[in-house]
Amino acid sequence: MTPTLAVAPPVDVLLAQKQAQTLARAKVKETAQAYEASFLSVMFAQMFKDVGTEAPFGGGQGEEMFKSFFADAVAKQVSRSGGIGLAGPVEREMLKLQGLQEEVPHGA
């Protein structure tokens, strides 16, 4: 019997795997932020539910109709600006479920 040597995969395969993992991490981060924004949107909608504005600058069906859009916009901006700390733990758990590890910044 001849001994078998372990052969390393080609560099292009390793680079493709690294790129796929980087894309997966980016998608997980985006999804975690979207989850946080969705949560905040529900919370802001409840908070703004009873807020009203008097005429001539508010009130009516138009204001009621656009409150949900306003709550969504505020929630997305809060999430993009750092959020309330919900996206980070959600992202870590999603990475664990996919068998990926968090990227550790260089020098840390």
Q: Hey, what are 96's tokens?
A: 């664990």
Q: What's the pLDDT score for residue 63?
A: 79
- The answer to the question of residue 43 being in a domain is yes
Over residues 30-52, the pLDDT tens digits come to 999 999 999 999 999 999 888 77
Query: Is the pLDDT confidence value at 106 over 60?
Result: no
- The answer to the question of residue 108 being in a domain is no
- The answer to the question of residue 74 being in a domain is yes
Query: Is the pLDDT confidence value at 68 over 90?
Result: no
- The answer to the question of residue 9 being in a domain is no
- The answer to the question of residue 104 being in a domain is no
Q: Which domain holds residue 69?
A: 19-50+58-97
- The answer to the question of residue 4 being in a domain is no
- The answer to the question of residue 12 being in a domain is no
Domain count for the chain, please give it: 1
Specify whether the CB–CB gap between 87 and 31 falls below 8 A.
no
DSSP letter string, 7-68:
-PPPHHHHHHHHHHHHHHHHHHHHHHHHHHHHHHHHHHHHHHTT----TTSS-HHHHHHHHH
Specify whether the CB–CB gap between 71 and 36 falls below 8 A.
no
- The answer to the question of residue 75 being in a domain is yes
